[in-house]
Structure 1
Amino acid sequence: MNDLQLTLLIVGGGGIAAMIGYNWWQDFRLRKTASERFGESTEDPLLAVPAQQASRERTEPGFHGDNSPMDVVTDDGAVVSDPVLNNRPAESIDQRLFADFIFRFDEPQDENAWKPLMDALEQINRKKIVYAAGVQSPDGGDVLWFTAAAFQGRAQQLRASIQIANRKGPLSSIEFSEVLTRFRRFADDHNAEIEFPEMREVVKRAETLDQAAAALDTLLGLHCLMPEQVDDAVVSSALIKAGWVQKGHQWSLADAFGTLATMVVHQAPGKRLLSFNIDVPNSADPVRSLGDVVSICHSFNAEFGAPMMDDSGRTLSTQAIEGIYNQLIERVRHLTDSGFKPGDPSSRMLFS
């Protein structure tokens, strides 16, 4: 081994020894500092159980299988019922039909705060206003919305959703301003901030929706001309046998999903007119409804000579009735393709 190799070996060994010594010194110094600050312990900090919690029973998260109230464990170990979790979730609304106004309270409020507002402002020109109480979710995520009318507890927010169109027309700028004025007064009285959409955008949305609804709306009227000598009891018996139900001056035909068709009797000198009406967007099954109306009218015609007529007073032939069927099927298809299937909640809301 020459002098150069020996020199390199000595230098390399010395460097390694110096590095090991430095690392040992750093580890010793950090352990000493940690011991002075936190004390010494041989327990694993991830597995150790604090003494004040050692007597508590360990529970696993899960879903409640019954209708009992959900419970919350407080910091001192007490178990209390959380009333918010017992409230009814807010009804689902179609955002195409509503504009939202959001109140954010400085201090959480209970139902006594917003009940006078709800009682005084349930609708505007027959356009529905739906209220929901908002509570922050326990994990700090989305706000949980509950039916405001039956809310128990205290809520940080209140949402008022206003219908923007129905058969009375679109929400106008005057109606919007009236509602906003009353909402602002409520917000001022309850130390709340109010968030609301821009009026011009809402009015434009409402007008567009109203025009689309007008193009889709269909009310189908058919009439059965009953001779005056036919007794009312006979007509009523036939209607009841066919599934029709009388309420006041109006008769209705319905199934489990809702009203199918309605009928009103018009008395005139020498005749009696049974006027059947199918409100297509609101009918649970318009095509079936037409079949039921045609069936009962045909039976009256066969037994009493009572012809079926349209709104113009023209007697309907078999060919004319087939034409009505085809037009109705096409109209139902247009409604469904537009997202307003006849009988659905959104359709009944828009065509109310």
Structure 2
Amino acid sequence: MTDLQMTLFGAGGVFIAGVFSYNKWQEHKAKKSVERAFSNDHDDVLMRSGAGASAPAAPAAARHEPSFEAGDGASAGAGAGAAAQPCADPLDAPARSADMASPAAELATSLVDPLIDCLLPLALEAPVRGDKILPVLQTLRLVGNKPVHYIGLHVNGDWEPITHGGVYTQLQGGVQMASRTTALNELEYSELVTRLRGVADDIGAEPAIPDMIEVMAEARTLHRFVAGHDAQLGVNLHTNGAPWAISTLIGALEKQGFDLRPDGRYVMPDGDGAFLFSLSTNVTLAEETTARLTLLLDVPCVAPARDGFGAMVACARSLVGRLDATIVDDSNQALSDAALAEIAGQVLEFYQEMEAADIPAGSTRALRLFS
């Protein structure tokens, strides 16, 4: 080996080590950012007792949650609007405690959620009927691919989704700040502000618009968390002999408990109207045979109590006997019981991370973010 080759090999080693170190530093920095942003001590506005209670003091670097407090999120600048009027707590009724939350109040909390939504208070000039304002609110239900929801403070003291026949003294809107694909961006937020002011004028309300810079920072942080936990696990079955006929497979999959959806997907029902995992034949509808099946688990969308990965592996093992197949990885290498057990441990750690971020897998929050 010549001196030049030795020099090039040495330089290459230094470069690779530098890239590895830089990537680890970036990973550590991103993890710390998410831990700070999604710590468990956030102030859940919709569940706080005492209307108008001031938010606890927080360090300058802490996540700033838009809230119902007067003036919160209404600082001067791009997108700033009138100061927010204090909104009553959804459960702030004299005889009501957190343990007595009505179904309507719980649904309201899931629709307008301070952890994943940018809150948009709408101060009303006078009580309004749901029948009157619903047609107007329906005109602003989506910005980009981010849903916009509304709840109202009913005259009975409950926050609830706005319905026909209800009478409301205060309104609260919320736009989801991130989805599986993107974060709420400046263009979408500007469109939201413009359209929201038009809606507010039509229903006789005054909107409090949070500062755009703060909202964009929160949206990007939330999307980083979503992107970092957008995990799908696949387990493959490969035939030990000739390819399977699709017509034969249908019967075997139905006996295994799979449902065939209108979109052509095979799914394993969870018993509550949703499904645990899906199955792909890895071929187009025009094909008559396949040599490989893939079971796929959308990890953040299945609650740990469902044990989606365990159920998927059990299903794969059952199909091995029915179809004379082998469980393999994406490289067609057989997956041992030890390898599957190791993956199960990683899934458990994943669930613990989501729980620590206050976005448990399979929860309403998770389903909204990862839909």
TM-score, length basis structure 1: 0.65
Structure 2: gaps of 5 or more residues: 1-94, 96-101
1:129/1:160 contact within 8 Å kept:
yes
Inter-CA distance 341–88: structure 2 relative to 1 (3 Å threshold): closer
Find out whether 1:165 has 2:178 as its counterpart: yes
Find out whether 1:300 has 2:315 as its counterpart: no
Amino acid at match of 2:309: L
The residue number in structure 1 matching 2:33 is none
Amino acid at match of 1:281: P
Shift of 1:91: 2.3
Find out whether 1:252 has 2:271 as its counterpart: no
Secondary structure in 2 matching 1:169:
coil
Inter-CA distance 146–231: structure 2 relative to 1 (3 Å threshold): same
The residue number in structure 2 matching 1:106 is 125
Amino acid at match of 2:256: A
With 268-277 and 201-210 compared, the bigger mean Cα shift is at 268-277
- Identity rate, percent: 24
Secondary structure in 2 matching 1:262:
strand
Secondary structure in 1 matching 2:325:
coil
Inter-CA distance 321–153: structure 2 relative to 1 (3 Å threshold): closer
The residue number in structure 2 matching 1:323 is 342
Aligned length: 262
The residue number in structure 1 matching 2:49 is none
Secondary structure in 2 matching 1:168:
coil
The residue number in structure 2 matching 1:242 is 256
Inter-CA distance 301–87: structure 2 relative to 1 (3 Å threshold): closer
With 236-245 and 160-169 compared, the bigger mean Cα shift is at 236-245
Shift of 1:136: 5.2
Find out whether 1:156 has 2:165 as its counterpart: no
2:246/2:290 contact within 8 Å kept:
no
The residue number in structure 1 matching 2:193 is 180
Shift of 1:344: 1.3
Inter-CA distance 224–182: structure 2 relative to 1 (3 Å threshold): same
Higher strand share: 1
Find out whether 1:124 has 2:139 as its counterpart: no
The residue number in structure 2 matching 1:290 is 309
2:235/2:316 contact within 8 Å kept:
no
Give deviations 1:78-132, integer Å, cap 9, x for gaps: xxxxxxxx99545223311111112223233323443233333222233222111
1:111/1:152 contact within 8 Å kept:
yes
Alignment of 1:1-352 (within 5 A): 88-89=104-105, 90-93=107-110, 94-135=113-154, 144-148=158-162, 150-226=163-239, 230-248=244-262, 249-256=264-271, 258-267=274-283, 271-285=290-304, 288-352=307-371
Between the aligned partners of 1:325 and 1:97, the Cα distance in structure 2 is 28
Inter-CA distance 222–350: structure 2 relative to 1 (3 Å threshold): same
Inter-CA distance 228–177: structure 2 relative to 1 (3 Å threshold): farther
TM-score, length basis structure 2: 0.62
Between the aligned partners of 2:170 and 2:356, the Cα distance in structure 1 is 36
With 103-112 and 225-234 compared, the bigger mean Cα shift is at 225-234
Amino acid at match of 2:126: E
RMSD: 2.9
Between the aligned partners of 2:151 and 2:169, the Cα distance in structure 1 is 11
Amino acid at match of 1:252: V
The residue number in structure 2 matching 1:67 is none
Between the aligned partners of 1:114 and 1:276, the Cα distance in structure 2 is 46
Indicate the structure whose relative CO is greater, using CA pairs within 8 Å and at least 6 residues apart.
2
Shift of 1:215: 2.2
Shift of 1:334: 1.8
2:122/2:205 contact within 8 Å kept:
yes
Between the aligned partners of 1:283 and 1:134, the Cα distance in structure 2 is 32
Give deviations 1:176-232, integer Å, cap 9, x for gaps: 111110011122233321112211111111111111222233111222234665444
Amino acid at match of 2:138: D
Shift of 1:272: 4.0
2:131/2:164 contact within 8 Å kept:
no
Inter-CA distance 311–174: structure 2 relative to 1 (3 Å threshold): farther
